[in-house]
Amino acid sequence: MFYREAGQFRTSYAQDAQILPLRQDRWGMAALLLAAFVIVPYVANDYWLSAILIPWLILSLVALGQNILMGYAGQLSLGSAGFMAAGAFACYNLILRVDGIPFIVAVLLSGVCAALIGIVFGLPSLRIRGLYLAVATLASQFFIVWALDKFGWFKNYDPSGVITAQQIVIFGHPFTSPQEKYWVVLVIVAVLALAAKNMARGSTGRAWMAVRDMDVAAEVMGLSLLRTKLLAFAISSFYCGVGGALFAFAYLQTVEPSAFNIDLSFRILFMIIIGGIGTIVGSFLGAGFILLMPVFLNVLFHGVFGQAVDATIISAFEQVIFGAMIIMFLIFEPLGLARLWQLTKERLRLWPFGN
Amino acid sequence: MIAPVQTPRRAFAIGAPILQLDSISLRFGGVQALTNVSFNVLEHEVRAIIGPNGAGKSSMLNVINGVYVPQEGAISFGGEQLKGMTPTRAAHLGIARTFQNIALFRGMSVLDNIMAGRTLRSRASFLEVALQLPRARREETENREAAEEIIEFLEIEHIRKTPVARLPYGLQKRVELGRALAAEPKVLLLDEPMAGMNIEEKQDMCRFILDVNDHYGTTVVLIEHDMGVVMDLSDRVVVLDYGKKIGDGTPDEVRSNQRVIDAYLGVAH
Amino acid sequence: MLDLLFFIEVLVGGLLAGIMYSLVALGFVLIYKASGVFNFAQGAMVFFAVLSFVGFMELGLPFWAALPVTVGLMVLVGMATERFVLRPLVNQNENTLLMATIGLAFVIEGTAQAAWGVEVRRLDLGVRDEPIGWLMDEVGILISQLDIAAGVVAGIMVAALALLFSRTKVGRGLRAVADDHAAALSIGIPLKHIWMLVWATAGIVALVAGMLWGARSGVQFALIGVALKALPVLIIGGFTSVPGVIVAGLIVGAIEKTTEVYIGPYFGGGIEGWSPYMLAVLFLMYRAEGLFGEKIIRRV
C-alpha cells in the first residue's frame, strides 16, 4: 500500500518519459544517492571502500558498457578487458606526457582512445554477427594486451613491465584516501550511468534495438547500420576505457597489461548475464554478485572446513558455481537479477494484497 | 462488398507519375523473378499489384525499395532517374513499407516501434540524447506527439506500452503500418497488409489505408490477394504472372482482361 | 639452401600443429552439425578428457582400460550437457546457447581442477617428441616423431568422420537433425540416439586431441587456450564442414608458425597469440561463411 501509483497523474509527455515516474521511486533514488554520497564514505571502513565498493562501481561501469553493446545493440563481445587496458594505459600516458592535464580530462580522453580502437575492431560487425563477431572481439582482446606488453613506450620503458598510476589530482587537490577515491569514482560512474540510461531510452537506444532486432527493417526506415553499430562499439569501448583508467588509478595502482586478460572479459560477461542483459540496473547487480561471490565462498569454505581447504580448490569450486549459475539464470531467468528486482517491485505495488 | 464506398471527391487529386519503373528484370542465380516489367505509379493514387503466388510481387516491392538490385531496368522517383536504390536512400526519398512476414522490432513496445519510425526526423546526436540537451528533449516530445497521433488514428491506444511480441497477428500488422506512417512518407509500400486477417480486421485495415490516402495524400502501392479488397480500394492495378506484367489498368479493365482470367484460373501457359 | 630447409621445417611444423587444431575444431563441428549449438565448452572437454585419462592411470588403471573408461565418462558428460543445458534452452536464440556453453566450460574446467588437482602431468604415448633420425641426418630438417604420429592419427580420424557423415545412414540422420529438429523428429529419426552418438563421438575426438596435445606439451590448464585457437580454424573453414576444418587448420597452423618465426622477432615475439584471430577477422570481412561453410540466405 505504500508503493502505489494511485493519485499520481502524468499530464505531459515529458512527464511520462521521466526515468522515475513514480514518486516512491524518486524518493527511493534520492535516499540511495544520499546514502552513496554522504553516508557511506563516513560509515564504511577503508577495506570496504577500497576492496569492495570501488571495484564494484568500476566494474559496474564496464559491465554497463558491455551491456550497451550486447544488450541494446545485440553485438556479442568478449573483449571488454582489452578496452579497459587501452583506457588504463592511455590515461597513464596522457598524464605522464601532457603537462598539467586535468585528471577528469585525461580520463575522458582515455575513454575516447578506447572508443576509437573499439570502432576499428567493430568494423567487422557490419558483415558478421553472433559467434563470428565474438571471435573478432577475441582478436581485439589478445592484440591490445600483446601490443601494450611488447611496445615499451606504453609503459614508459619501465623494465619491470609494470606501471604505477600517478596520484589523482583534481583542481590542485590530491585525492588519495579511500574516501576521496570513492567519491571520484562515484561521481564519474553516476554521471556516465545517467548518460547511458538517457541514451538507452531515447532515440539512440531505439536505433540500437531496431538494428538488433531486424536490421533489414531498420535500414528500410532510414537507419544507417554502419553508424548505429559503430556508435554502439564506440560508446561501449568508451565506458570500458574509462572503467579501465579508474581501475588503474583508483583501485590497483600498479598495473601490468596482463591484468586485463581474457579471464576478466569472461567475468564481465558473467556480470551482464547474471545481472540482466540490456538493463542498466543489471550491470550494477551483476557486478556486485560476481565480486561478492568469491568473498562469500571463502567465508563459507573456511567456516565449514576450517583452514584445511586449498586455495586452488576454492577457486575451482568458484568456477563451477559461476558456470552453474550462468546456466541456471539462462534457463530460469534469462533477464537476470534485474528482472527479479522488477518482479519484486511489482509485488510491492500490490502489497499487502496478493495478486 | 467489404470496404465502404469511396467518397466521390478526393481531397488529393491524382497527379503525375511519382514512381516510374522501366524494364525491370531481376534474377536470383538461375531463377528469373522479374522479366522486363514496366509500370508507373501516379501521385496520390492507390495502386495494387496482384498476381498468383510466386508471380514476383514481393520482389517488385523489394526492388522499388532498394532491398533487391535489379540486373536490368531503371527506377525514377519524382521524375528523376535514380542510379541505384538502397533501402536507406528509399527512406530518405520518402518511401516507407511494411513486410509480408511482419518485421517489427520484437524487443520493443508498440510506442517504441512507432517512434523508431521517426528516425529520419530526429536530428539530435547521441551526445545530446545522453546529456538530455534541449534539442533532444524537444525532439523526443515531438516524436511522441506524432506517434500518439498515429496511435489514435489506428485505434491502438490501449496497447501502446505492450511489447509487440505479445500482440496477436492482426494488431502486429496494424502496428507495422503505424511504424511506416511515422516516417510521414510520400509513398507507402504495403506487402499483403491484410494477410491472415478476419473480416472485421480487414474492414478496419481498408478503412485505415483509405484514410491515409485521403487524409494525408500518401500514395499507396499494395500487394493483396483478396480481390474484393483490391477492386474496392485501388485506383489502378498491375497484374504480374511468372515475373511478367500481364495487365495494367483500372480494376474493371483488369477484371475483364482475358490473360488475367487465364492466369488466375490456371490455364496452361 | 639452408634457408629453404629451415622454411620447410617451420612450415611442416606449422602444418602439423595445424592438424592438431583441426582435431580440436572437429569436436566443435560435430556438435554444431548435429545440434546447431556452438559448444564453447569443447576446449574444457578436451582438457577434462585427457586429465581424467591420466588421472585414471594414476589411480592404477592400465592404458587400455583407462581409455574406454574415459570415453564412457565423456559420453556421460555429453548426455548430462544435453539433458541439463541444451534441452531446457532448446528454443532460445544462438547467443543464449553460446553463453550457456560458456557457463558449461567453466563448470567443466572447475570440476576437472577440483577433481584432479592442478599439477602439470606428463603423458607418454610411446612415441617420443624427438626429431626423426634420418630426416635430421640426411636432409637437415627437424620434424618431431610425435608430430608426425599426431598428424597421422588426426588425419585418420578426420577421414573416418567425413565418411561417416556423407556415406552412412547415421550420418544422414545427423545432418537432418542439424538442419531442422522438428522436421527430423517428424520423419522418425531417433533424436536422442543421434545426440548420444554425436556427443560420444565428440568426446572421443576430444580425448584423442587432448592426448596428442598433452603428450606434446604436458597436461595442463593452458590446454584450454588451445581450444580458443580452434575458433579461427572454425571461422576460416566454416562451422559445418569437416574437410573445411582440416584445410583451415593447416592454414592457421602454417601462418601462425611462419609469421611467428619470420616476423615475430621484429616485435619481440608473441605474435602467435593473436595472428590466427586477425586472420579470422580478415576472412570474416570477405567470406563470412568460411571456405567451405554454407551461405546463409535470409528471406525478407
**Would you say A67 and A280 are in contact if contact means Cβ atoms under 8 Å apart?**
yes
**pTM metric for this prediction:** 0.86
The answer, yes or no, to whether residue B77 has pLDDT greater than 80, is yes
CB atoms < 10 A from the CB of B173, how many?
24
* Residues C198-220 pLDDT 10s: 778 888 888 888 888 777 776 66
How far is CA C291 from each of CA A263, B185, C20, C42, C230, rounded to the nearest angstrom? 31, 43, 19, 22, 15
What value does the mean pLDDT take over residues A217-228?
Answer: 88
Give the dihedral sign, CA A299/A305/A310/A315. Answer: negative
Place of cell 503500418: B177
List B22's β-bridge partners, or say none.
Answer: B74
Which pLDDT does position B111 carry in this prediction?
92
Q: Which subunits have 3 or more CB–CB pairs within 8 Å of chain C? A: A, B
Q: Which three cell numbers stand for residue A48?
A: 570496504
Q: Percent of chain B, pLDDT > 70?
A: 94
Which pLDDT does position B38 carry in this prediction?
92
> Which B-chain residues 23-82 have CB contacts (< 8 A) with chain A?
65, 67
Q: Which residues from chain B sit within 8 angstroms of residue A16, using beta carbons? A: 144
User: How far apart are the CA of C230 and the nearest CA of chain A, in angstroms?
Assistant: 10
What secondary structure letter does DSSP report for B227? H
Q: If pLDDT is split at 50, 70 and 90, which confidence band does C127 have? A: low
The 3-state DSSP class for residue A158 equals: coil
User: Which of these, A65, A78, A99, lies nearest to A245 by C-alpha position?
Assistant: A65
* Residues C140-199 pLDDT 10s: 666 777 777 777 887 788 778 777 777 777 677 776 766 666 677 777 777 777 777 777
Q: Is A64 exposed, middle or buried (0-12, 13-18, 19+ CB in 10 A)?
A: buried
List B95's β-bridge partners, or say none.
Answer: B187
Among A13, A201, A221, A229, which would you mutate to test the B interface (most chain B Cβ atoms within 10 Å of its Cβ)? A221
Cross-chain Cβ contact B88/A223 below 8 Å: yes
Q: If pLDDT is split at 50, 70 and 90, which confidence band does B265 have? A: low
**Would you say B183 and B152 are in contact if contact means Cβ atoms under 8 Å apart?**
no
Which pLDDT does position A153 carry in this prediction?
79
Q: Which residues from chain A sit within 8 angstroms of residue C111, using beta carbons? A: 316, 320
Which distant-in-sequence residues (6+ apart) come within 8 Å of C177 by Cβ? C34, C35, C184, C189, C191, C194, C195
The 3-state DSSP class for residue C294 equals: coil
Q: If pLDDT is split at 50, 70 and 90, which confidence band does B128 have? A: confident
The answer, yes or no, to whether residue C222 has pLDDT greater than 70, is no
The answer, yes or no, to whether residue C80 has pLDDT greater than 90, is no
Q: If pLDDT is split at 50, 70 and 90, which confidence band does B25 have? A: very high
Cross-chain Cβ contact B108/A213 below 8 Å: yes
CB atoms < 10 A from the CB of C253, how many?
26
Which pLDDT does position C1 carry in this prediction?
46
Cross-chain Cβ contact C114/A331 below 8 Å: no
The answer, yes or no, to whether residue C124 has pLDDT greater than 80, is no
* Residues C19-56 pLDDT 10s: 878 888 888 888 887 777 788 888 888 888 888 888 88
Query: B121 versus B157: which is more confidently predicted?
Result: B157
The answer, yes or no, to whether residue B187 has pLDDT greater than 90, is yes
Q: If pLDDT is split at 50, 70 and 90, which confidence band does C296 have? A: low
Instruction: Compare all CA atoms of chain C with the CA of A317 and give the residue at the minimum distance.
Output: C110
What value does the mean pLDDT take over residues A289-310?
Answer: 78
Q: Rounded to an integer, what distance in angstroms lies between the CA atom of residue C260 and that of residue C11?
A: 11
Which pLDDT does position C141 carry in this prediction?
66
Q: If pLDDT is split at 50, 70 and 90, which confidence band does A301 have? A: confident
* Residues A9-22 pLDDT 10s: 667 776 677 777 67
Q: If pLDDT is split at 50, 70 and 90, which confidence band does C129 have? A: low
Place of cell 603423458: C123
Q: Which residues from chain C sit within 8 angstroms of residue A324, using beta carbons? A: 103, 107
Q: What angle do CA A54, A155, C280 make, to 5 degrees?
A: 90
What DSSP letter does each residue of A201-265 carry, written as one string? HSHHHHHHHHHHH-HHHHHHTT--HHHHHHHHHHHHHHHHHHHHHHIIIIIISEE-GGGG-HHHH
Look up the ipTM and state it. Answer: 0.82
**E-assigned strand segments in chain A:** 163-164, 169-170, 173-174, 254-255
What value does the mean pLDDT take over residues A319-347?
Answer: 86
Hey, what amino acid is at A279? T
* Residues A116-154 pLDDT 10s: 999 988 887 777 767 777 878 888 898 898 888 888 778
Considering only the beta carbons, identify the residue of B119, B131, B132 that sits closest to A207: B119
B112 contact A CB<8A: yes
User: How far apart are the CA of B64 and the nearest CA of chain C, in angstroms?
Assistant: 14
Considering only the beta carbons, identify the residue of A123, A135, A330 that sits closest to C280: A135
